[in-house]
Structure 1
Amino acid sequence: MSDRNDGHEELRKAVRAFLKNASPSSEVRRLMATAEGYDPEVWRRLADELGLVGLIVPERFGGAGAGAAELAVVMAEMGRTLLCSPYLSSAVLAPAVLLESGDEAACAALLPGIADGSALATLAVAEDNADIRDFDAIRTTARADGDRHLLHGTKERVSDGCTAGLLLTVARTDKGLSLFAAEPEGAEREPLPVLDPTRKLARVGFDGTPARLIGAEGAAAAVLGRALDLGTVALAAEQTGGAERCLELSVEYAKTREQFGRPIGAFQAIKHKCAELLHEVESAKAAAQDAARLWSDPTTGEQGLAASVAGAYCSEAYVHAAAETIQIHGGIGFTWEHDAHLYLRRARSSALLLGSTSWHLERVAEDIGLVPTA
């Protein structure tokens, strides 16, 4: 094994050991019932003790300067335990969109606080019932007002939108889609009912909310696309961690639960289910790892394609693994007391979070020439 892989394994062990104590099932259930949805002390330790909050933030902005491969390792471990935290929004999407903007002044001003965990940030994109990748559906506007802009519009399904202290928002100007940084004090925030209570979503309304332009005006579409692709790579890794844990729960139960005097794992139907899950989980891990690897090599030109392959496959694999886990557990799997349904809720919610499976599959089809591009 290479030194790099050795380093990844050490990182995996450290994160798993930390989350074993910081995110047991009992704590997940406690936090998902709170309005904030996360433990500030755990968040502080993730930042200070492990340096994970600033993982992908360059060292010059106070981060660790790690890449997508390391991020995938961390996200997979968080997915295994259903960690309740604003990690995807504040430690992945927000830094990604700021770095992609190329705005050095904004990065210098905002990234250090994000990296050390003192500032929570999120990305506000989706509107109405449209997919987050449907940029044509964005109707929020930004009107110049001196050295600032005023935002008007409503964003839906904003991850951690009620707790973030910085709202990185995409809005239209006369020059096209642009990225803005808005303070939450000037916005109306409302928590949304969610299928997955371990990940909080909000509706954020802007009515003349002051904001400052990030990057070049009219350049947000490409910036946003790249940031969402990195988010998809990270989310795919999280999905593989959750799917792998579902497989483990299923195998453990099949070995210990007895019917007709023998473990249910001895029955062919259960064997087939577990074997199929193993194949899907390993394939999902390969897709996620390949996407993370390609992200570090922009010369291939396949980063977007790999992100969508992982996004589509890992979403489907996780949903299937979670659903089969409930089936293998039988009656107990359907109860609130068992964790299987928490994984299914996370799986179904995640499958729509950063682009639906159909969106990713259509993109893959276009990239490989199965259908003409628009």
Structure 2
Amino acid sequence: MTLLYSEVEEELRSAVRDLLADRCPPATVLARIENPSSYDAGLWKALARDIGVAGLLIPEELGGAGASAREAAVVLEELGRAVTPIPFLTSAVLATWALLEAGTDAARDLLTALAGGETTAALAVSFASSPYSWEAGTAPATVTAEGGTLTGRVTAVAGADVSDVLIVPASGALHAVDAAHATIEPVVSLDLTRPISTVTLTGAPARPVSADLAPLRAALELGAGLLASEQLGVAEWCLATTVSYVKERHQFARPVGSFQALKHRLADLWMEIVQARAAARNAADALASGTDAATAVAVAQAWCGEVAVHAAEECLQLHGGIGMTWEHPVHLYLKRAKADEIALGTPGDHRDALAGLADLPGPL
């Protein structure tokens, strides 16, 4: 195992970062959130066509790149740095991995369509669902299957508003439903760059893609582990932007960054982010190798979610008045960090799971 980035990973990072710098600067994202939908279809097509991110995890025989979780983690770091409004996590990671784990002919057909990025998919589960709730069977069964159709309602679904296919858990199995047969109602989301929706199915035609929910559990675990890399990207942007600002902002004829109290705060934050990088990289490597992945994912999410929120809070506060304005992009990062902290299991959910994985009894 190595937590260092390989040459291939650095080349992938450079390609994604350069494209985002050109197509998705903060001013562009700020402008997009003023629209009814922040989704940047042109950027998604460019990333899928020019870099191949849509099919990154899909095997080459199905038209994908055949890459691993490590490469996907690098992409998510860069997307987190730019709070990019595209469905990479929801379509190219969560939905794609559920279909890969299903392994059926129907799933493979969908993967071939997803590989080029022309088709997108979303898991029709609440974005706040943790992998452990599905494992324990405690997640609510809100959709039922009968006679080849699905009926029910799922709230807080991420990526549904821009998906062509929904992967829906119902009656103990996974089903694929064309989004045109569902009613998708966007709701107010904390993170304006990743909208959530309520999905309603009323006798929607469906085709089974898995006979059980094991692929869903695997997809949520992978998504949680790789979400740590997005949180790392958010935190790194916040730290770099704050350090740059306190070097330029003057008070009492001195840069405010020269004050010892601020130096200490930023040094402490840097240490937290270094640890977050190690945890996120370890989770990505464990998911790629299949070695002790559950523990690595729980550790990464127990730590990275809170670090990203702390970094965004420090960024906002140390920017002073300008940080509180709608015109400055820091609010996008704070909202993304907080939404990510809730997504795919809270840090508390992952700490509870880690206690069991490490065979450590909780407090009495």
TM over 0.5: yes
Q: 1: distance between equivalents of 2:131 and 2:157?
A: 10
Residue identity (%)? 41
Partner in structure 1 of residue 228 of structure 2: 236
How big is the alpha-carbon RMSD for the aligned residues of Structure 1 and Structure 2?
1.9
- C-alpha contact (below 8 Å) 1:36/1:163 kept by paired residues: no
Given the alignment of the two structures, is residue 142 of structure 1 paired with residue 144 of structure 2, yes or no?
yes
Q: How does 1:1-374 map to 2 (within 5 A)?
A: 5-103=6-104, 105-126=105-126, 133-135=132-134, 136-145=138-147, 149-172=148-171, 177-216=172-211, 219-220=212-213, 222-298=214-290, 300=291, 302-371=292-361
Q: 1: distance between equivalents of 2:264 and 2:155?
A: 41
Q: 1: distance between equivalents of 2:332 and 2:126?
A: 25
Which letter does structure 1 place at the counterpart of 2:192? P
Q: Secondary structure at the match of 1:49?
A: helix
Q: Secondary structure at the match of 2:146?
A: strand
Q: Secondary structure at the match of 2:123?
A: strand
**CA drift at 1:319:** 0.2
Q: Secondary structure at the match of 1:371?
A: coil
Q: Secondary structure at the match of 2:51?
A: coil
Q: 2: distance between equivalents of 1:27 and 1:2?
A: 33
| Partner deviation per Cα, 1:52-78 (whole Å, 9 max, x = no partner) | 111111111110000011111111011
Which letter does structure 2 place at the counterpart of 1:169? V
Q: TM-score, normalised by structure 1?
A: 0.91
Q: 2: distance between equivalents of 1:228 and 1:2?
A: 23
Q: Secondary structure at the match of 1:162?
A: helix
- C-alpha contact (below 8 Å) 1:126/1:138 kept by paired residues: no
- C-alpha contact (below 8 Å) 1:138/1:171 kept by paired residues: no
- C-alpha contact (below 8 Å) 1:32/1:84 kept by paired residues: no
- C-alpha contact (below 8 Å) 1:68/1:234 kept by paired residues: yes
Cα distance change on mapping 1:224 and 1:83 into 2, 3 Å: same
- C-alpha contact (below 8 Å) 2:129/2:344 kept by paired residues: no
Q: 1: distance between equivalents of 2:130 and 2:107?
A: 28
Q: 1: distance between equivalents of 2:130 and 2:153?
A: 15
Q: Secondary structure at the match of 1:156?
A: strand
- C-alpha contact (below 8 Å) 2:131/2:221 kept by paired residues: no
Q: 2: distance between equivalents of 1:186 and 1:289?
A: 39
Q: 2: distance between equivalents of 1:42 and 1:347?
A: 22
Deviates more, 1:182-191 or 1:62-71: 182-191
- C-alpha contact (below 8 Å) 1:61/1:107 kept by paired residues: no
Q: Secondary structure at the match of 1:190?
A: strand
Cα distance change on mapping 1:345 and 1:48 into 2, 3 Å: same
Structure 2: stretches of 5+ with no match in the other structure: none
Q: Secondary structure at the match of 1:291?
A: helix
Deviates more, 1:58-67 or 1:6-15: 6-15
> Greater relative contact order: 1 or 2 (C-alpha under 8 angstroms, separation 6 or more)?
2
Q: Secondary structure at the match of 2:361?
A: coil
Q: Secondary structure at the match of 1:55?
A: coil
- C-alpha contact (below 8 Å) 2:106/2:208 kept by paired residues: no
Q: Secondary structure at the match of 1:204?
A: strand
Q: Secondary structure at the match of 1:134?
A: helix
**CA drift at 1:134:** 2.9
| Partner deviation per Cα, 1:28-74 (whole Å, 9 max, x = no partner) | 11222333322222111111111111111111111000001111111
**CA drift at 1:130:** 6.8
| Partner deviation per Cα, 1:193-225 (whole Å, 9 max, x = no partner) | 011101011000112212111122xx20x2212
**CA drift at 1:2:** 11
Q: Secondary structure at the match of 1:33?
A: coil
- The number of residues matched between the two structures is 358
Q: 1: distance between equivalents of 2:340 and 2:61?
A: 32
Q: 1: distance between equivalents of 2:37 and 2:109?
A: 25
